[in-house]
Chains A and B, each alone.
Chain A
Amino acid sequence: MAEVSETTESESPGTEMVRQENLFVAVLRSLGNLVIGLFKGIAQRIIRFVKWTWRGVVRLAGFLRSPAKNTRILSDKFISGVHTFRREMDSLSSIQLLAIIIVFGVFLIAPLLKVVVGSFTIQEGEFVILLLLRNPVFLPQWSPADFRVIRPSPSGIVEIWGIEMGVILNSLYVAAIVTCIAVALGTFFAYLIARYEFRGKTILRTVLLFPMLSTPFVGAIGIKWFLGGNGFLNNLASAFFSWFGLTWTRIEFHGLAAIILVQGLSLFSLVYLNAYSSFVSIDPSLEEQAENLGAKGFTLFRTVTLPLAMPGIQAGAILAFILSIEDLGTPIVFSEDLQAQHCLAYQVFINITSESGSISPIGPAIGMILLAFALMGFLAIRKYAALRSYASGSKGGQWNPRTRRLSARATVLLYLLVVSMLFFALIPQMSVILLSFAEYRSSALFPPLTLDNFAILMNSDIQGALTRTLSYAGIATIGIVLLGVSAAYIISRRKIPGRTALDLLVTSPIAIPGTVIAAGYFTLFYNTPFFPRDAPMFLIVMSYLVRKFPFTVRAAYAGLQQTPVVMEEASLNVGAGRNTTFAKIVVPLIGLSVLAGALLSFVYCVSEVSTSLLLGGANYYQAPLTYWINVTRAGLPPIYGIGPAAALGVLMMSMQMVVITVTNRILKTRASAMTGI
Chain B
Amino acid sequence: MVTIHLVNLRKTFGDVIATDDVNMDLEEGKLTTLLGPSGCGKTTLLRLIAGFYIPDRGRIFFDDRDVTEIPPNKRKTGMCFQNYALWPHMTVFDNISYGLKMKRMNGMKYTPAAIANRVEKVIDLVHMQGLANRTPHQLSGGQQQRVALARALVIEPDVLLLDEPLSNLDAKLRHEMREEIMRIQKELSITTVYVTHDQNEALSISDMVAVMDKGYIQQYASPKEIYARPQTIFVADFIGKCTFIDAEITSLGEYMKARLPDGQVVSGRSPLEGYPFQVGERVRCAVRPEDLQTERTDPTDNEIMGVANEVVYLGSNLEIHFKVGDIDAVSLLPPDAPASKGDKIRLFAPRANVMVLPLGGVDALRKIPGHPLYSQPAAVSSSAA
Taking Cβ atoms with an 8 Å cutoff, the residues of A that contact B are 87, 564, 566-567, 569-578, 580, 584-585, 588-589
Contacts and interface: CB of A to CB of B under 8 A. Distances in A.
B72 interface: yes
26 contacts: A566-B82, A566-B85, A567-B85, A567-B87, A569-B52, A569-B81, A569-B85, A570-B79, A570-B148, A572-B72, A572-B73, A573-B72, A573-B77, A573-B79, A574-B73, A574-B98, A574-B151, A574-B155, A575-B73, A575-B76, A576-B102, A577-B73, A577-B102, A578-B71, A578-B73, A589-B87
A567 B52 CA distance: 13
Contacts of B76: 575
A381 to B, nearest CB: 26
Interface string B43-60: 000000011101000000
Interface string B18-52: 00000000000000000000000000000000111
B88 interface: yes
Interface in B90-147: 98-99, 102-103
Contacts of B102: 574-577, 580
Nearest to A591: B89
A564 to B, nearest CB: 7
Nearest to B95: A570
Given A569-B81, A570-B81, A576 B89 contact: no
Contact of B88 (A572, A574, A589): A589
Given A577-B73, A588-B89, A589-B87, A569 B79 contact: yes
Contacts of A567: 85, 87
Contacts of A570: 79, 81, 85-87, 148, 151
B137 to A, nearest CB: 14
Contact of B73 (A564, A576, A585, A588): A576
B190 interface: no
A569 B83 contact: no
Nearest to A588: B89
A564 B136 CA distance: 15
B53 to A, nearest CB: 11
Q: Which of A564, A566, A573, A576 has the most C-beta atoms of chain B within 10 angstroms of its own C-beta?
A: A573
A351 B99 CA distance: 62
Nearest to B148: A570
Nearest to B72: A572
Given A572-B51, A572-B72, 12 more contacts: A87-B54, A570-B79, A571-B87, A572-B73, A573-B73, A573-B79, A573-B152, A575-B99, A575-B102, A577-B73, A578-B73, A589-B87
A575 B78 CA distance: 9
A530 to B, nearest CB: 40
Best-surrounded residue of B72, B86, B103 (most CB of chain A within 10 A): B72
Question: Looking at chain A's contact residues, is the secondary structure mostly helix, strand, loop, or mixed?
Answer: helix
A573 B50 contact: yes
A415 B112 CA distance: 63
A585 B99 contact: no
Contacts of B82: 566
B73 A566 contact: no
Contacts of A589: 87-89
Contacts of A580: 102
Nearest to A580: B102
Interface of B: 50-52, 54, 71-74, 76-79, 81-83, 85-89, 98-99, 102-103, 148, 151-152, 155
A60 B86 CA distance: 49
Contacts of A572: 51-52, 71-73
A584 B73 CA distance: 15
Nearest to B155: A574
Nearest to A87: B54
Nearest to A563: B88
A577 B99 CA distance: 11
A575 B76 CA distance: 7
Contacts of B78: 573-574
Nearest to B75: A573
B163 to A, nearest CB: 9
B68 to A, nearest CB: 12
Contacts of A576: 73, 98-99, 102
A572 B73 CA distance: 5
B152 A574 contact: yes
Nearest to B74: A575
Contacts of A584: 98
A404 to B, nearest CB: 32
Contacts of B77: 573
Contact of A566 (B71, B81, B88, B103): B81
Contacts of A574: 73, 78, 98-99, 102, 151-152, 155
B57 to A, nearest CB: 13
B88 to A, nearest CB: 7
Contact of B83 (A87, A564, A571, A573): A564
Given A87-B54, A566-B81, A566-B83, A575 B155 contact: yes
A564 B51 CA distance: 18
Contact of A585 (B72, B87, B148, B151): B87
A661 B163 CA distance: 42
B87 A569 contact: no
B88 A564 contact: no
Nearest to B89: A588
Nearest to B76: A575
B85 A564 contact: yes
A280 B58 CA distance: 48
Contacts of B51: 572
A488 to B, nearest CB: 18
B55 to A, nearest CB: 12
A435 B181 CA distance: 73
A566 B155 CA distance: 18
Contacts of B103: 575
A160 B344 CA distance: 94
B150 to A, nearest CB: 11
A566 B80 CA distance: 10
Nearest to A568: B85
A589 B89 CA distance: 7
A577 B73 CA distance: 6
A231 to B, nearest CB: 54
A214 to B, nearest CB: 37
B79 A571 contact: no
Contacts of B152: 573-574
A357 B98 CA distance: 61
Given A564-B83, A566-B81, A571 B71 contact: no
Contacts of B79: 569-570, 573
Contacts of B73: 572-578
A572 B98 CA distance: 11
A574 B88 CA distance: 17
A425 to B, nearest CB: 39
Nearest to B73: A572
Nearest 4 Cβ contacts at the A-B interface: A574-B99, A566-B85, A570-B85, A575-B102
A574 to B, nearest CB: 3
A644 to B, nearest CB: 48
Nearest to A574: B99
Contacts of B72: 569, 572-573
A578 B77 CA distance: 16
Nearest to B104: A575
A181 B209 CA distance: 65
B35 to A, nearest CB: 22
